[in-house]
Amino acid sequence: MNGIRCMLMRGGTSKGAFFVADDLPADEASRDSVLLRVMGSPDVRQIDGVGGATPLTSKVAVVGASARDGIDIDYHFLQVGVDQPTVSDRQNCGNLLAATAPFAIERGLIEAPGGTEAAVRVYMVNTDSVATVTVEVRDGRPEYRGGTAIDGVPGTAAPVRIDFEDVAGGTCGALLPTGNAVDVIDGVEVTLIDNGMPVVVMRASDLGIAGTESPAELEADAALRGRLESIRLRAGHLMHLGDVADTTVPKLTMVSPPTAGGDVSTRTFIPHRCHEAIGVFGAVSVATAALLPGTPAASVTRPGAGSGGTLVCEHPSGSLTATIDVDASGPSPVVRRAGIVRTARKLMDGTVFPTEYRDTES
C-alpha cells in the first residue's frame, strides 16, 4: 500500500518501468504478480496501470549493482503481457538496455563519473551476455539533451552507444541453432538465427505479400497470421526453444528489397502483432542474416550492403542502423562485432502503486 519506487524511461523506441532489483519481491511469482498489477494487465487498455497498451510500452527493467568481476550492473528484462496475465524473460530488449546506464547513475547504483562520458558494462541476465552502454554525462548526471535522432521517436536526444559482446546464441545456444543458414518450414525458406534475439527471417514474397504493407494491413490478414504462427511453432523446436505457443520468441521478420534508401526492408511480428518498428536485437539478428550468403535476407538486401560495417534495416516507421561485422568465410559464421546507437530519456520518477485486490467475502 506504500507503493514502490519506480522510474518510467524511454529507451530507443520502447518505454518501460524501471526498478532497482532490491525494491521488488525476490520470489518470482510474487514479483510477477506485483508487475502485472503495476502495468494494469490483463487488459487491452491497461487502464488501471502504467502500461501503454502495446507490447512496446508494457516492459519492465530490473536493474541492480553487479557482484560480477568487471561488470557494473545487472539488467533483467521482463516483457509483461497486455491482454494476458504473463510476465516473460525469454527474450532480451536492446531498446530498454539503452536506458539502463542512465538509470543506474540516477539511482546511485554506480559511482557518478567525473568526465563527459560514462561507459557502463551491463550483464544481461536474460541471455547471460554483456554489453557496454556508453552515455553522455554532465556534472555527474546523465545528459539527455542532444542532437541524435532515431526513427520512431520525435525530436532528438543525446546518443547512447551500445556495443554487444558474445550475444550470438545467447538464447538458442548458437548463432544458427540448426547449423544451417537456410531451412525450410511449411514450404517456406527461412533463416533461424539468434544474434541477441531468436528470429525467423523469411522473404515477404514467399508469404504472398510485398513487404511494404502497413502493420494494420498485415494484422488484418488472418490467413497470413495463421501461416506465420504455424512456422513459428515449428521453428521453436528447431531453435531449441521447445513449445513456444505461450512465449514471445522467436520473432518473425519478413524481408523485402529496400524502398527508402536503406539496405533491407522489414515487417516484424512480435509474435502475433506486426510492429511499427524493429527491435534492437531483432535488427542485429536480421542484419546478420542479410550478410550470410544464400539466405532469404541476402537475396533481397541491397548489393554491397554491410561492406562499410553498417547495415540499415527499414521498418514501417523509419529505419535502424546496425553496426555489424560477420565473417562468413568458414564452415560456421562468426560475429566479430555487433552494435547500435540509440537514445534514452527519463520520463518520470516517483512511486507506483500496484492495484490491490481484496476478497469480497472477507
Q: Which three cell numbers stand for residue 70?
A: 568487471
Question: What is the topology classification, in CATH, of domain 183-332?
Answer: Diaminopimelate Epimerase; Chain A, domain 1 (3.10.310)
Q: Over the chain, what is the mean pLDDT? A: 94
**361 has a pLDDT exceeding 60:** no
Query: For residue 280, which of 46, 36, 59, 28 has the smallest C-alpha distance?
Result: 59
**176 has a pLDDT exceeding 90:** yes
**359 has a pLDDT exceeding 50:** no
pLDDT in tens, 307-339: 888 899 999 999 999 989 999 988 899 999 899
Q: What pLDDT does residue 71 have?
A: 98
**Please, are residues 252 and 228 in contact by the beta-carbon 8 Å criterion?**
yes
As a whole number, mean pLDDT of residues 168-185 equals 96
pLDDT in tens, 133-146: 999 999 999 999 99
As a whole number, mean pLDDT of residues 16-37 equals 97
Q: What pLDDT does residue 362 have?
A: 38
Contacts of 299 (CB under 8 A, 6+ apart): 203
Q: Is the model more confident about 64 or about 280?
A: 64
Instruction: With cut-offs at 50, 70 and 90, classify the pLDDT of residue 357.
Output: low
Query: For residue 336, which of 174, 195, 182 has the smallest C-alpha distance?
Result: 195
Q: What pLDDT does residue 85 have?
A: 96
pTM: 0.78
Q: What pLDDT does residue 307 have?
A: 87
Q: What pLDDT does residue 269 have?
A: 95
**270 has a pLDDT exceeding 90:** no
Domain ranges of the chain: 4-166+344-352, 183-332
> For a pLDDT cut of 70, what percent of the chain falls above it?
98
The label of the residue with cell 546518443 reads 159
Distance from CA of residue 244 to its chain's centroid?
Answer: 17
**Please, are residues 278 and 284 in contact by the beta-carbon 8 Å criterion?**
no
**291 has a pLDDT exceeding 70:** yes
As a whole number, mean pLDDT of residues 45-68 equals 97
Q: What pLDDT does residue 138 have?
A: 94
Question: Which CATH code fits 4-166+344-352?
Answer: 3.10.310.10
Q: What pLDDT does residue 360 have?
A: 42
Q: Which three cell numbers stand for residue 195?
A: 544474434
**Please, are residues 136 and 116 in contact by the beta-carbon 8 Å criterion?**
yes
Query: For residue 196, which of 129, 254, 263, 246 has the smallest C-alpha distance?
Result: 129
Instruction: With cut-offs at 50, 70 and 90, classify the pLDDT of residue 1.
Output: low
Q: What pLDDT does residue 358 have?
A: 53
As a whole number, mean pLDDT of residues 234-244 equals 97
